[in-house]
Amino acid sequence: MSGDVLLRPDFELSESIRRYVRGQLSEAETASFERRLLDDVDLQDQVEAELTLREHADALVQTAVGSTRRELSRWAMAASLLAAVGVGLLLPRPWSDESQVGREIQSLSFTVMRSNESPPGFEAKAGLPIAARFLTALDQPHRLEVYAADGGMRLAIDDLLPDSDGDLTVLLPAFSTRDAPLRLVLSTRGRSDEYRLLVQDLGEGRP
What are the residues binding another protein (CB under 8 A)? 9, 11, 14-15, 17-18, 20-23, 31, 34-39, 44-64, 66-68, 71, 158-159
Q: Is the CB of 21 or the CB of 76 nearer to another protein?
A: 21
Q: Is the CB of 54 or the CB of 178 nearer to another protein?
A: 54
**At closest approach, how far in Å is the CB of 9 from another protein?**
6
Q: Is the CB of 159 or the CB of 163 nearer to another protein?
A: 159
**At closest approach, how far in Å is the CB of 109 from another protein?**
26
Strands (E), 49-97: none
Q: Count the residues in the chain.
A: 207
CA distances from 194 to 44, 133, 144, 161, 174 (A): 50, 14, 10, 17, 19
Residue 160 parent element (H or E): strand 153-160
Which residues are registered as beta bridge partners of 188?
191
**At closest approach, how far in Å is the CB of 24 from another protein?**
9
CA distance 91 to 32: 75
Q: Is the CB of 17 or the CB of 199 nearer to another protein?
A: 17
